[in-house]
Amino acid sequence: MTGTTTDAASTPLFFNPLQDGYASSPWSHFDEMRNGDPVHDSFGARWFLFRYEDVTRLLRDPSLSVDDENITVHDELRLAAFDEAFADIEPTRSMLGRDAPDHTRLRRLVSKAFTPSTIAALRPVIQEMVNTALDAMDERGSTEIVGDLAFPLPFDVISVMLGMPESDKQQVAQWSSALVKTLDPIITEEEVFAAAAAERNMRALLSEVIEWKRANPADDLLTALIQAEEDGDRLTATELRDQVQLLFVAGHETTVNLIGTGIHELLQRPDQAAILRDDPSVEVNAIDELLRFVSPVQFSRRITLQPFEVGGQQIQAGTFVMAGLASANHDPEKWGDDADEIDLRRSSPAQHVSFGSGSHFCLGASLAKLEAQVAIGSFLRRFPDAHAVGDVVWNGRINLRGVERLEIAVR
Ligand code: HEM
């Protein structure tokens, strides 16, 4: 590992998300990196960017790739486990890992389902799902907010959009959770093997679902994508399966953190919760501020295709570079001295990079915002005296960091 040395101790800085306290509050660690080594070379194999300016530049630069096949500077330890565990698994063809022209074609096909009017039309469906969850909480007088609302809402919404048949939600959630662990910068060998097993199971399930849907077409996204595949060479069978998997997993593994962690943070700040509860006009701004503060996806990624100069450092071609979205979202250079505070009336919080930036900007951004507006706003209005009971449990993920369990008394 190289890295800028700190003046006092001359010890190279080392970004270590496994440090004690990181899960509950990574913010001081990002601070340290932004100040000490904002363009950080980790073990000569992957780089991390921590400043807003550098992160946005990286994400928006069209000369960079997202295709892992372009990585030539390898993290040998990581690679060995992945090579073995994924030996029989074809790399995914999802748009998130494809460059133009494939990316452009895939994104165009899927984006038809995410137009502003299609998403806006989902509001009553989402409101009804939220109301049902809140009714149950009201009856019990308490809730475990992730299991009762933050997880099932986005899961059910994307299932309805796709037209998925009823599935074993817990089983799918477990596979999906094992899968997204591969997005973490540090992962154990056991987790790599669990992720590979989950990938096989998820692909098998989705192939079955696609076959079932061919026989049972309906007015839904999955049928529309199947038609695009059947129409000829616009979408291959593998591409179809992998776009569905991306939508299914991205559709809930991220929004759960915005809703669950967002509610957790607001319950700790009653003054901010009151702003959102009492002033509906602040709702849109408030959700962007929560997106900025929570950063449900903490890192995105790009791969250099040619030498890339950033922050006075030269990164060689073929290198995996992690864009510190959460760190950029807390960079005082961009947000001011209160970057680590929640201010639901902050001006222009929508300049956060929680959804990434550039050609891979999150396709589900408006859907995620709508779900969070309805879920968080309705929860706070229905239960003005809600308060956490017991300690929050974090999900232990570095990238898709969020609350795993939080017991709340609603009165
Ligand atoms: C709070 C919730 C969400 C967050 C924070 C989030 C974040 C992100 C991020 C960071 C990226 C990569 C952007 C980049 O590298 O520039 C991304 C891509 C993507 N997201 Fe989301 N996402 C969320 C919800 C959703 C939902 C609900 C869906 C769909 C139902 C979705 C579908 C996608 C897709 C399809 C891509 C790939 C876009 C492309 O490669 O062109 N996301 N998201």
The 10s digit of each residue's pLDDT in 85-103 is 999 999 999 999 999 999 9
Residue 57: pLDDT band with limits 50, 70, 90? very high
Ligand 1 binding pocket includes 402 (Cβ within 6 Å) = no
How many other CB atoms are found less than 10 A from the CB of residue 120?
Answer: 10
The pLDDT assigned to 233 comes to 61
The pLDDT assigned to 234 comes to 81
Give CA separation, 94 vs 26, 105, 139, 374, in Å. 30, 11, 42, 29
Residue 349 has pLDDT above 50, yes or no: yes
Residue 296 has pLDDT above 90, yes or no: yes
Quote the ligand 1 centre to 173 CA distance (angstroms): 18
The 10s digit of each residue's pLDDT in 218-242 is 999 999 999 887 776 688 899 999 9
Beta bridge partners of 142: 409
Across the chain, what does the average pLDDT equal?
93
Ligand 1 binding pocket includes 356 (Cβ within 6 Å) = yes
Distance CA 323, CA 315 (A): 13
pTM strictly above 0.85: yes
Length of the chain in terms of residues written: 411
The pLDDT assigned to 74 comes to 84
Residue 403 host element (H or E): strand 403-405
Ligand 1 binding pocket includes 260 (Cβ within 6 Å) = no
The 10s digit of each residue's pLDDT in 325-346 is 999 999 999 999 999 999 999 9
- Comparing CA positions, the residue from 304, 237, 277 lying closest to residue 46 is 304
The pLDDT assigned to 232 comes to 63
pLDDT: which is higher, 285 or 232? 285
Q: Which atom of ligand 1 is nearest to the CA of 354?
A: 5
Residue 355 has pLDDT above 70, yes or no: yes
Q: Per-residue pLDDT averaged across 267-284, rounded?
A: 97
- Residue of the CA atom closest to atom 13 of ligand 1: 356
Residue 10 has pLDDT above 50, yes or no: yes
How many other CB atoms are found less than 10 A from the CB of residue 275?
Answer: 19
Distance CA 367, CA 251 (A): 9
3-state helix, strand, coil in the chain (%, to 5): 55, 10, 35
Residue 310 host element (H or E): strand 308-310
Residue 288: pLDDT band with limits 50, 70, 90? very high
Residue 8 has pLDDT above 50, yes or no: no
Residue 310 has pLDDT above 90, yes or no: yes
Give CA separation, 77 vs 43, 192, 396, in Å. 11, 12, 22
Distance CA 320, CA 41 (A): 10
Q: Which atom of ligand 1 is nearest to the CA of 158?
A: 30
408 phi and psi, to 5 degrees?
-130, 135
Q: Check if the beta carbon of residue 366 is closer than 8 Å to that of residue 251.
A: no
Residue 81 has pLDDT above 90, yes or no: no
Residue 47 has pLDDT above 70, yes or no: yes
Q: Which residues have C-beta within 8 Å of that of residue 237, sequence separation ≥ 6?
A: 229
The pLDDT assigned to 52 comes to 98
- Comparing CA positions, the residue from 266, 258, 394 lying closest to residue 342 is 266
Residue 304 has pLDDT above 80, yes or no: yes
Domains and CATH numbers, the chain: 27-409 (1.10.630.10)
